[in-house]
Structure 1
Amino acid sequence: MAAQGSTFKTCGCRDEDGKRLGKRCPRLRRANGRWNSGHGTWNYQLELPPTAAGARRRPLRRSGFCTQDTAEAELTKAKELLTIAGDDETARVQIADLITTTVRATKALPEPETVRRKVRTGHDLSHSITVGEYLDTWLAGRRNLREGTRRSYAQHIRLYFKPHLGHIPLDRLRVQDVDRVFDAIDEHNAQVVRARQTGDLRLCAKVKGRRVVSPATKQRIRATLRAALNKAIKERIIEVNVASLIELASGKAPKALVWTDERITQWERDFAAHIQQMNARRTRQARLEPHKRIGEHINRLDAYAGAPRPSKVMVWTPALTKRFLDRARQHRLYALYHLIAFRGLRRGEACGLRWADVDLTGGTATIRWQITQIGRETFHGKPKTDAGEASIDLDSTTIKELRAHKARQNTERLASDTWTETGFVFTTPAGEPVEPNQVTEQFLQLSMEAGLPPIRLHDLRHGAATFLLAAGYDMKVVQETLRLSSLAIASDIYTSVLPQLARQSAEDAAAIVLKAK
């Protein structure tokens, strides 16, 4: 049945008895009978279907429109909403309920296209799921995720999407809403950088423990939302994935650079100046705020780890790598760093290596497990990719170091009253598997003590690839040794050509021309 409705004009004038005149006010029309545009406002009334409980009348009355056209336009929109149900009387009642509750809450009508989509897909008209609610439901339904991936998704939802988008109805999410998430990330980055540059204690305390969110991480954050919205499209809740429309800087991995003598000299000057400036700011802050307890010196290891460098990915030359290994040799986990430097294991793979997967006689190690750490929690699982689960060959020097490590571990086992047999190659003095973050912190400490320019522990893996290339092996060998999923990844990421290799290639290329007849 077609919905009936009408528009009319009223005002707030009252008669002698104080009663509102409403539509009866003579000032609503001019002397010529036309409407007086300067007096009163336009209204409309539409009879909605009765409630499921059987109420006789349910009029929708809306007022305050400046012109009859605007009132007619909204009346037409309300009629359009009721026609969406077609001959389905139950759906008509549900749409009428939705109109009533939406107008009461927002002072506006629901969008016909949204209602039409919900009716078409069979979704509940009485409830509009928010972005936060949907993301929680989506993540809970992802049953086969690796624990590290699940934690990463949960972190993105908790830190970025819920605070900024969580309250927005999913079907009303817009591109500009998602843009605001990344605007907030940029503001966060600016605060972290400003804290590092100025050494301002208040700002440092505010951003303590927080890092700059890189372009690659932004891409991963966006990918989390995009994956969830793709599921919403399949469920026919929404029609457009707005996360796919966001423009972000490329998340391409930074180019790996080698620590040449020139770069080391410049870094040493910059680092010394950085330490001096931070100490000066700290001293000045202590004078300005004498009531606060402010240490006289900064944590040198933190400053060393966070010191600016030519690229995020830096690689030691063979000589620098040997210098690190010489310094680390007396440490009980020396064999772990040796294994990463020579065979390019990932940190989690080295921490997760078990004696059952090491064949010292045959000279192989099979990478089956890894330990990942998120915050203070560690998780045991399969390697990062299917290609990562494979056997690698061990050189004679590495075999020798692993034998020596096993002997030291046996000595620790016999000397300990609290030893726990876990089967891991690298353990604590009590036999428990080592925590990846502690391995990284010890690596930085040893690097600083050796007087070396800083690199990440993962950069030892880049170095292993570089040394293979310098030894004359092709990219395919690099791919297989580092167990990468494709040759393209090996060539794009794990190739920082050593200076001497680059010079030799230049000489070889020139020789071809000079010796031509």
Structure 2
Amino acid sequence: MKGSVYKRCNCRDQDTGRLLGRRCPQLKRANGSWNPRHGAWHIQCDLPRRADGTRRTLRHAGYLTQDDATADLLQLKTLLAIPDRSDTTSQVGLGDLIEHTISTDGRLPDIDTVRRALQTGTRLIGQPTVAEWLDQWLAGKRNLADSTRSKYAEHIRRHLIPHLGQLRLDRLRRQHIAAMIEAIIERADYVQAIRESGDKEAALALRGEKVTGATTLHRIRATLRAALNAAIREDLIAANPATHIELPSPRRPRPLVWTPERVRRWAADGTVPGPVMVWTAEQTGRFLDAILDDPLYPLFHLVAYRGLRRGEACGLHDDDLDLTAGEITIRWQLLGEHRTPTLARTKTESSDSTIALDDDTITVLRHHRTAQAKRRLAAREPWPTHGLLFTDPDGQPLQPGRVTAHFQRLIPPAGLPPIRLHDLRHGAATLALAAGVDLKVVQAMLRHSTITLTADTYSSVLPQLAKDAANATAATIPRAQRQ
């Protein structure tokens, strides 16, 4: 391909008004050297013909020095030499890419990027930004659980688009993703430090902002990696830069029991020894006794006894109960923190299962059914036909976020140390293990996908349970004397 470097300006002939271009006498000094204060350097080069066969020539201006223009002309000729001359499709695509990149970015395409794209068969032109691709990818996902879609959308909205969205998809590199991860970690450290500093004014400014932990970082990376894998299948990129990003190892929080010593320390200075705390059997009983008259007592009783997740309890339908057989079937979950709740199927086959009920829980649920039937008959407005077992007083679906807030308000009057609503589920598992229930049975009750997950989650309480079992076994052996 022919090419040239030249200098011109926008001066006009005083008589004709025509542009002088390369003929302007001010372009050179009296000694014949180029005048650096007048005009600009240009390059001109023939490009491969368009798909319709018409010729095209690239003219690009704005270079301050001849060397800059010469370097770009050399880069242009290197680009044009990459595809095989017999590969007409690649030749046309490269010409389109060069024209597009010059017109939009004001610069030539990267040589290595073009070479890699031609070698792998990825698209040369029409590349979306990361933000555009993420939105397109999520919108095109089919058969996605509502909760999963919500998490993907949150990762995209809160983290991926703010940090990476402006980049063109094929120019996303590992260092961009690493910089995003570092920024997220720094922000999380800052938020945590402010909240622990005692500065109420600064903490108030951060109210509602979540601290992004290691587990969430892995999920954000997983969302990005899934979207980029889809881009590879669409021939938009050749490799996934999110594949080998190093992240801090997530630590699964282990449940800790509110022992008497821990309760005394909490009462003295407010110390909560871990993120996941569970009540003892006696503390759980005190809580349930204290809320017997609360409208949501049956729901909290069910979670505390059988370990349902919040969404599963809120999404339980009346026809999911078989009180004669003494079992419930988990099929639905009610999702939503501070917006209109959404009813969705449980995410996995392991979550969708039948759970046996104890006699106390059967009695509680039978009484609840009777009370709900009375409210339905007494209602002035038509009772909703959704079939949910637990509802607001007017029959509307529960708002899961409000259920959590209500639970937190019930704890202080009961005189108990704090736990989360989800910790009632952990407590159900811990109490079952303490009662001697086999780990495999607890796994089935919690609907964990593997017994390893159950054992790993409750590893902090299993050693004490094993010791108690050993002492119980030793106590059955009659001894005349003990050392």
Give your verdict on TM over 0.5: yes
SS in 2 for 1:385: coil
> Is 1:245 matched up with 2:252?
no
Count of residues in Structure 1 that have an aligned counterpart in Structure 2: 458
Per-residue deviation, 1:450:
0.9
The answer for the alignment partner of 1:275 in structure 2 is: none
> Is 1:315 matched up with 2:322?
no
The answer for the alignment partner of 1:38 in structure 2 is: none
What does 1:83-122 align with in structure 2 at a 5 Å threshold? 83=81, 84=83, 86-89=85-88, 91-103=90-102, 105-119=104-118
Per-residue deviation, 1:46:
3.5
What does 1:436-475 align with in structure 2 at a 5 Å threshold? 436-475=400-439
Q: Please give the root-mean-square deviation of Cα atoms over the aligned residues, in Å.
A: 3.4
* One-letter identity of the residue aligned with 2:386: T
Deviations 1:472-508 (A, max 9, x none): 1221111111121111111111454279635424646
The answer for the alignment partner of 1:417 in structure 2 is: 380
| More displaced stretch, 81-90 vs 503-512 | 503-512
CA contact (8 A) 1:352 1:370 kept: yes
What does 1:35-434 align with in structure 2 at a 5 Å threshold? 46-49=45-48, 54=54, 57-59=57-59, 63-64=63-64, 74-83=72-81, 84=83, 86-89=85-88, 91-103=90-102, 105-119=104-118, 125-271=124-270, 309-418=272-381, 419-434=383-398
SS in 1 for 2:371: helix
CA contact (8 A) 2:340 2:399 kept: no
> Is 1:21 matched up with 2:66?
no
CA contact (8 A) 1:344 1:462 kept: yes
The answer for the alignment partner of 1:296 in structure 2 is: none
Deviations 1:370-404 (A, max 9, x none): 11114313111122321111111111111111112
Question: Distance between the aligned counterparts of 1:227 and 1:423, measured in 2?
Answer: 36
CA contact (8 A) 1:363 1:399 kept: yes
CA contact (8 A) 1:356 1:423 kept: yes
CA contact (8 A) 2:42 2:59 kept: no
Per-residue deviation, 1:120:
6.0
Question: Distance between the aligned counterparts of 1:111 and 1:382, measured in 2?
Answer: 47
CA contact (8 A) 1:324 1:447 kept: yes
Structure 2 residues without counterparts, runs of 5 or longer = 9-23, 35-39
Deviations 1:316-359 (A, max 9, x none): 11111111111121112211111111111111111111221211
> Is 1:485 matched up with 2:453?
no
Relative to structure 1, the CA distance from residue 20 to residue 215 in structure 2 (aligned partners, 3 Å threshold; closer, same or farther) is: same
SS in 2 for 1:245: coil
CA contact (8 A) 1:366 1:389 kept: yes
Per-residue deviation, 1:178:
1.4
Relative to structure 1, the CA distance from residue 60 to residue 501 in structure 2 (aligned partners, 3 Å threshold; closer, same or farther) is: closer
The answer for the alignment partner of 2:18 in structure 1 is: none
* One-letter identity of the residue aligned with 1:109: L
CA contact (8 A) 1:48 1:57 kept: yes
Question: Distance between the aligned counterparts of 1:348 and 1:158, measured in 2?
Answer: 23
Per-residue deviation, 1:190:
3.4
CA contact (8 A) 2:311 2:335 kept: yes
SS in 2 for 1:381: strand
Deviations 1:114-167 (A, max 9, x none): 334555666664423110011111111111111111111111111111111111
SS in 2 for 1:454: coil
Question: Distance between the aligned counterparts of 2:227 and 2:464, measured in 1?
Answer: 48
CA contact (8 A) 2:97 2:124 kept: yes
Deviations 1:447-477 (A, max 9, x none): 1211111111111111111122111122111
SS in 1 for 2:328: strand
Question: Distance between the aligned counterparts of 1:135 and 1:56, measured in 2?
Answer: 35
Question: Distance between the aligned counterparts of 1:372 and 1:440, measured in 2?
Answer: 12
CA contact (8 A) 2:45 2:57 kept: no
Question: Distance between the aligned counterparts of 2:125 and 2:401, measured in 1?
Answer: 49
Per-residue deviation, 1:229:
0.8
The answer for the alignment partner of 2:16 in structure 1 is: none
Identity, % of aligned positions: 45
SS in 1 for 2:461: coil
CA contact (8 A) 2:266 2:417 kept: yes
CA contact (8 A) 2:134 2:156 kept: yes
CA contact (8 A) 2:7 2:42 kept: yes
CA contact (8 A) 1:344 1:465 kept: yes
CA contact (8 A) 2:390 2:397 kept: yes
